[in-house]
Amino acid sequence: MSHSDFDPQNQRMDSKIIASLERIAQAFRVLLWTESKEHALSPIQVQVLIFLLHHSEEKRKVSYLASEFNMTKATISDTVKSLEQKGLISKEYTERDTRSYAIRLSDKGKDIASQTSLFTRELRAPLDELDAGDKENLLLSLIGIIRHLNRVGVITPQRMCFTCSHYRPGSGGQGHFCQLLNQSLAPTELRVDCAEHVPV
Ligand code: SF4
């Protein structure tokens, strides 16, 4: 008997969930590609622009972007070079180290990043239909999957509570607590991209 998650004869619920996640990943690719084409950019160029729009200076560096997108520094350097030639970013060198630079969006780059960051709108529509309890369960399930993928090295650690040195389980091992904020976190308050995240 086949155990492929993509075998239509396979009626296991786990396999249906995995096949469904694959379709959602495909939707991300299609939506991102469509948005990229409208601006004559590649998908990775759009992803980098959106990342730059929402993250602080220490994360706007080639090495950080390479880790974030699981790509080589050479590939990200090429992406940055192309974005610079299109007038969407500039490089900011520090006085102490003229080889290292942070990447800054130009006004035109900010404008395109803001527009393209809405490429997920069709994914939001069905989520809006879910009630709060279903959303909470879905969020916790997805965080659990991402956490596992981080742990086994499939994707680089993301800025989530479960990989943060400020995170503690709540009292009695129940719930969640952030030592930095000094407060309990409801499941819906768990972060998947926290600016204050410090890797464990
Ligand atoms: S600092 Fe951010 S990522 Fe870390 S535990 Fe607190 S809320 Fe979560």
CA 49 – ligand 1 centroid, Å: 24
Q: What is the mean pLDDT of the segment spanning 103-128?
A: 96
Quick one: pLDDT at residue 2? 57
Give nearest CA residue, ligand 1 atom 3: 161
Atom 5 of ligand 1, nearest CA residue: 167
**pLDDT (0 to 100) of residue 174:** 86
Ligand 1 mutation target, pool 143, 161, 168, 179, most atoms within 8 A of CB: 161
The two tokens of residue 46 are 């759009």
- Asked if residue 85 and residue 176 are part of one domain, the reply reads no
Atom of ligand 1 at shortest range from CA of 195 = 2
Do 102 and 159 sit in the same domain of this protein? Answer: no
Given the structure tokens 């239509």, which residue do they identify? Answer: 8
Report if residue 200 sits inside a domain: no
Per-residue pLDDT at 62: 95
Q: State percent of the chain over pLDDT 90.
A: 77
Of 120, 141, 159, the residue at which a domain comes to its end is: 120
Please say if the pLDDT value at position 133 is more than 70: yes
- Measured in Å, residue 121 CA sits from the centre of ligand 1 at 27
Domain count, the chain: 2
- Our mutation pick for probing the ligand 1 site, out of 160, 162, 180, 193, counting the most ligand atoms within 8 A of Cβ, is 180
User: Quick one: average pLDDT of 34-56?
Assistant: 96
Q: What ligand 1 atom has the least distance to the C-alpha of 165? A: 4
Report the pLDDT value the prediction gives residue 155, as an integer from 0 to 100. Answer: 86
pLDDT above 90 for 100: no
Ligand 1 — pocket residues by CB below 6 A? 161, 164, 166-167, 178, 180-181, 191, 194, 196-197
Mean pLDDT value of segment 83-99:
88
The last residue of one of the domains, among 63, 93, 120, is: 120
Decide if pLDDT at 5 tops 90: no
Lowest mean pLDDT among 26-40, 90-104, 125-139: 90-104
pLDDT exceeds 70 at position 8: yes
pLDDT of amino acid 132: 94
Are 66 and 141 in the same domain? no
- Check residue 74 and give its pLDDT: 96
Domain boundaries, position 101: 13-120
pLDDT band at 1 (very low <50, low <70, confident <90, very high): low
Q: Say whether both 145 and 113 belong to one domain.
A: no
Ligand 1: which of 139, 191, 192 to mutate, judged by most atoms within 8 Å of the beta carbon? 191
Query: What's the CATH number where 102 sits?
Result: 1.10.10.10
**Closest residue by CA, ligand 1 atom 8:** 161
pLDDT band at 98 (very low <50, low <70, confident <90, very high): confident
- pTM (two decimals): 0.88
72 in the same domain as 18:
yes
Mean pLDDT of the chain: 92
